[in-house]
Amino acid sequence: MKHKHILFTGGGTAGHVMVNLALIPVYQKDGWSIDYIGSHDGIEKKLIEPLEGVTYHSISTGKLRRYMSKENFKDPFKVIKGVMQAWRIIGRTKPAVIFSKGGFVSVPVVLAAKLRGVPTIIHESDFTPGLANKIAIPFAKKVLATFPETVKYLPDNKAEYVGAVIRDELFQGNRSKGLELAGLNEEKPVLLVMGGSGGAQIINEKVRQTLDDLLKDFQIIHICGQGKVDQTIDRKGYAQFDYVNETLKDILAASDFVLSRAGANAIFEFLALEKPMLLIPLSRQASRGDQIINAESFKDKQYARVLEEEELTEIRLAEELTRLKETAPVMRDHMKAYRSDKAKDKVINIINQTSK
């Protein structure tokens, strides 16, 4: 096989990067040249730039807001600038195919790829397509869906259901290492609390306010978000981290239950690892409602319990976590039927077949 070149894009949140992180090692192993286009200061730069053998390129990007803001008048010019920058990068690197995970930064890349005649594959993690992917889909060759139900929201001639792509390293965690890292033991089950890559202030507050009750039944690993660790709390059985990357696999191995937002990539990772979860999706006031739909889908399949943010109180949180503990055996039985290992192979085959 002749030498080939692949370009990845996606960013804004960790969820728009994780699938790329799962695929990059495969193409490194197969000897492909790899480039990545992201923003100047997004989380994708922090996650991708340190990788050996991957060249990171920064471009300008607008935010594509759904609300009125004076920044909306500047964003089209930022997007146009980003398209020009991506057009030059694509012309210089000459990828055979582009894989886009979505987020605002991906829009200029997909547009530039169309202008260059390079095929793009988009991966949509959420139940319904986000705004960035809605804009980009007309310019893409294929659109891959994580939820089977998502296909009905996509063009028939481009859509394909593949499932969730999970990073291999997440299955290689060591429970003992995770417990040691958090200063915990085997005396009580471990509850992992996550609020997404930026943390969730309301979840942080309610967990800390309910800490006395929760520590009666659980040990807690709390990933709070950058700068959101509360240094005044020093309790046995309660470990705080602002962000976890390389050691996440061990933290997950040490965890018996998860309290989390409902970002698609994260909850599919919990599903693949058979972690019963209580999901608190972002409210419609703070989002387009995609996490609410994600969470309800998981609830319907008996993978998770759901607590709406508007109903989040100390009493309800404690009650729902007690119920989570009680219903966990049933959840795990349903989770065992889910197979995540085939999704990555499907995506790789599609990328390879699409590359020009």
Three-class HEC string of the chain = CCCCEEEEECCCCHHHCHHHHHHHHHHHHCCCEEEEEEECCCHHHHHHCCCCCEEEEEECCCCCCCCCCHHHHCHHHHHHHHHHHHHHHHHHHCCCEEEECCCCCHHHHHHHHHHHCCCEEEEECCCCCCHHHHHHHHHCCEEEECCHHHHHHCCCCCEEECCCCCCHHHHHCCHHHHHHHHCCCCCCCEEEEECCCCCCHHHHHHHHHCHHHHHHHCEEEEECCCCCCCCCCCCCCEEEECCCCCCHHHHHHHCCEEEECCCHHHHHHHHHCCCCEEECCCCCCCCCCHHHHHHHHHHHCCCEEECCHHHCCHHHHHHHHHHHHHHHHHHHHHHHCCCCHHHHHHHHHHHHHHCC
The verdict on pTM exceeding 0.85 is yes
Q: How confident is the model at residue 65, as a pLDDT? A: 52
Q: How confident is the model at residue 261, as a pLDDT? A: 94
Q: Any idea which residue has 């520590």 for tokens?
A: 215
Q: How confident is the model at residue 135, as a pLDDT? A: 93
Q: Which amino acid is at 85?
A: Q
**Domain layout of the chain by residue ranges:** 5-165+340-354, 171-336
Q: What CA–CA distance (Å, rounded) separates 321 from 328?
A: 10
Task: Yes or no: say if 190 and 221 are a contact pair by the CB < 8 Å rule.
Answer: yes
Same fold, 5-165+340-354 and 171-336: yes
Task: Yes or no: say if 129 and 140 are a contact pair by the CB < 8 Å rule.
Answer: no
| Domain range 171-336, CATH architecture | 3-Layer(aba) Sandwich (3.40)
User: Domain 5-165+340-354: which topology?
Assistant: Rossmann fold (3.40.50)
Q: How confident is the model at residue 1, as a pLDDT? A: 47
Task: Yes or no: say if 177 and 249 are a contact pair by the CB < 8 Å rule.
Answer: no
Q: Which residues contact 329 (CB under 8 A, 6 or more apart)?
A: none
> What tokens were used for 68?
């009125």
> What tokens were used for 76?
């089209």
CA contacts within 13 A on the Cβ side of 161: 10
Q: What CA–CA distance (Å, rounded) separates 329 from 326?
A: 7
pLDDT in tens, the chain (356 residues): 467 999 999 998 888 899 999 999 999 999 999 999 999 999 999 999 999 999 999 999 876 555 555 666 677 888 899 999 999 999 999 999 999 999 999 999 999 999 999 999 999 999 999 889 999 999 999 999 999 999 999 999 999 999 999 999 999 999 999 999 999 999 999 999 998 766 688 999 999 999 999 999 999 999 998 889 999 999 999 999 998 888 999 999 999 999 999 999 999 999 999 999 999 998 877 667 889 999 999 999 999 999 999 999 999 999 999 999 999 999 999 999 887 778 999 999 999 999 97
Starting from the edge strand earliest in sequence, which strands make up the sheet with 219-223, in order?
238-241, 219-223, 190-194, 257-260, 277-279, 304-306
